[in-house]
Amino acid sequence: MAKVSQAAKVGLFVLLSGSATYVVWRTVSKEVGVNGNYTVHAHIKDATGLALHSRVTIAGIAVGSIDSIKLEGGAARIDVKMDKNVPLYQNATLGKKSASLLGESTIVLTGGTEDQPKLKDGDEIHAITESASMEDITNSVAKIAQRVELVADQLANSIGTEKGGQDMRAILDNLAQATDAINVTVRENRSVIHDALERVDRITVNGEPEMASILENVRVITEDVRKLTASNGQGTDVQGTVTNINQASKSLNDALGHIDNISKGIDEGHGTIGRLTKDETLINEVQGVVEGVNDYVGGITRLQTVVGLRADYNFLANTIKSYVELRLQPREDKYYVIELINDPRGKTNFTQTDVDTTNPNLPSHYRTITTTTTDAFRFSLQFAKTMGPFTGRFGIKESTGGFGLDLHLLNNRFELQQDLFGFGEEIDPRYRVTIAYEFIHRLWLLGGVDHVFTGSERDYFLGLQLRFTDEDLKTILPFAGGAAAGTSK
């Protein structure tokens, strides 16, 4: 009886364990535990690196998994089981993206726009975005390696030979000799300068008594001349001196006459200098040029060039967004902002095409919208005007039209930034709110919400920005235009 009771306990334990395992499997399994999911499929050229049940993402967020991979019509058919809470529309796109250098890949989707019909269970995604495969990357690396090998061969031919080694040794010997000569010259000049300074010091120390002696000699000479001129003047030397003085005075009178003629011509407007003093048009032109140069130099002197380096972490997308900002501020109440943005989520463009057809199987007039996502950089170019604690901005924000409003508090160490942009890029404009605080000099802590109006794309971010004034950049800007023009030629 004890043995039967023990067997019954074991059987009951196995039955309970199996039931618990089934319940856990029903709860956790992506295939059974979620009711209402739907499946869509697409055909791609290459399914290398894809694995069954791997996750499928939109904007870096998992929204489904790969249900099956099979060959159909010479292409790979990918069946994707989607979360019932994530709708896809007729213009949705599907693409393959490399997940690592080991060859693993994932499926990336874009949901499309709400003005298109929703995809149902079993529908096909027709818009496919192709990306570079590991084979393409390997071929590119191989080409680079070939070019590096060519450079190495050329370097070996130039330096690796006996003659090349001798030339290199000769160059190094010449460089060593030149360095020694420079050191000798510096040492010699140092002693010469030291001796010269000592001589100057001695002259300075003895200068006062020497100057007193010179002045005494001048006094004696002038007294002798006075006595000589006060005499009868019968001496031959005195008469010759007087004659020379008369001739010198005549020459001086002639020179003064020439100067008088020249000044008269200038006064009458003759010659270049005369025209410059009499021609009002020329005077106004010269004055205008001088004022223009003065305004230009003054503007460059007042200009402030502020550089900002910023990085944000997006929590939901799990990406890092980078900014490089240049602020040109000619006055306290206005500035210009230039930004270059690297967003890992890429840049999405929508192309709308109206089609007229006579095909009886299609509507006579219909519209298609093509969605294109690229890894291109975004840029901003805005004009900003400050009025009290508020600053308004208008222009291009992240490659789309937009405007913003900022609030500055606590001696400009606290900022509340609001941006509204993305008109035409998405159905709803993109609204972003950012709070920034300068907790350390030149270092700002930022945080906020992006895509406030769009719940499916809303994300939260936290970042740091280094903001500083670069005076050297201000001196380069006047020559940047000429350098760009020379480069374009």
Cα 400 from Cα 381, distance rounded (Å): 10
The 10s digit of each residue's pLDDT in 139-160 is: 888 888 888 888 877 777 766 6
- Co-location of 379 and 424 in the same domain: yes
- Give just the sign of the alpha carbon dihedral 121, 122, 127, 132: positive
Residue 365 lies in a domain: yes
- Co-location of 292 and 324 in the same domain: no
The three-state secondary structure class of 351 is strand
Residue 486 lies in a domain: no
Residue 389 lies in a domain: yes
- Co-location of 358 and 290 in the same domain: no
Residue 162 lies in a domain: no
Q: Which two tokens stand for residue 467?
A: 């903001």
The total domain count for the chain is 3
- Residue 480: its pLDDT value, please? 52
Side-chain-side CA neighbours of 381 within 13 Å: the count stands at 1
Cα 194 from Cα 45, distance rounded (Å): 82
Cα 196 from Cα 465, distance rounded (Å): 55
Residue 315 lies in a domain: yes
- Residue 273: its pLDDT value, please? 65
Residue 226 lies in a domain: no
- Co-location of 278 and 380 in the same domain: no
Which one, of 462, 457, 449, 383, lies nearest residue 425 by Cα?
457
Kindly report the CATH number assigned to the domain that includes residue 328. Answer: 2.40.160
Q: Which of 106, 129, 152 is the last residue of a domain?
A: 129
8 Å CB contact between 450 and 434? no
Residue 206 lies in a domain: no
Q: Which two tokens stand for residue 251?
A: 């020459």
8 Å CB contact between 93 and 128? yes
Cα 282 from Cα 284, distance rounded (Å): 5
- Residue 382: its pLDDT value, please? 95
- Co-location of 349 and 380 in the same domain: yes
8 Å CB contact between 285 and 276? no
Which one, of 474, 335, 470, 301, lies nearest residue 412 by Cα?
335
- Residue 169: its pLDDT value, please? 80
- Co-location of 286 and 407 in the same domain: no
Which one, of 183, 84, 98, 80, lies nearest residue 134 by Cα?
98
- Co-location of 327 and 294 in the same domain: no
Q: Domain span at residue 310?
A: 303-481
Cα 270 from Cα 167, distance rounded (Å): 67
- Co-location of 324 and 466 in the same domain: yes
- Residue 420: its pLDDT value, please? 93
- Residue 349: its pLDDT value, please? 62
Q: Which two tokens stand for residue 420?
A: 């509204």
- Co-location of 262 and 374 in the same domain: no
- Co-location of 326 and 455 in the same domain: yes
Residue whose structure tokens are 């010659």: 271
State which H helix or E strand residue 397 sits in. strand 390-397
Q: Which of 62, 94, 129 is the last residue of a domain?
A: 129
8 Å CB contact between 97 and 74? no
- Co-location of 343 and 463 in the same domain: yes
* Per-residue pLDDT tens listing for the chain (489 residues): 445 577 777 788 888 888 877 765 555 444 433 456 899 999 998 888 888 888 999 988 989 999 999 999 889 999 999 998 999 999 999 998 877 767 788 899 998 999 999 999 999 998 888 766 666 777 888 888 888 888 877 777 766 677 777 777 888 888 888 888 888 777 777 777 677 777 767 766 666 677 677 878 888 887 777 776 666 554 455 566 667 777 776 777 777 776 776 766 666 666 666 666 656 676 666 666 656 655 555 555 678 889 999 999 999 989 999 999 999 988 889 999 999 998 887 666 667 778 787 878 778 777 776 666 666 688 899 999 999 999 999 999 988 889 999 999 999 999 999 999 987 666 678 899 999 999 999 999 999 999 888 877 899 999 999 999 888 776 776 655 544 445 445
- Residue 483: its pLDDT value, please? 44
Q: What is the pTM of this model?
A: 0.39
- Co-location of 62 and 118 in the same domain: yes
Q: What is the SS3 string spanning 20-66?
A: HHHHHHHHHCCCCCCCCCEEEEEEECCCCCCCCCCEEEECCEEEEEE
Residue 30 lies in a domain: no
Cα 218 from Cα 226, distance rounded (Å): 12
Q: Which of 129, 162, 188 is the last residue of a domain?
A: 129
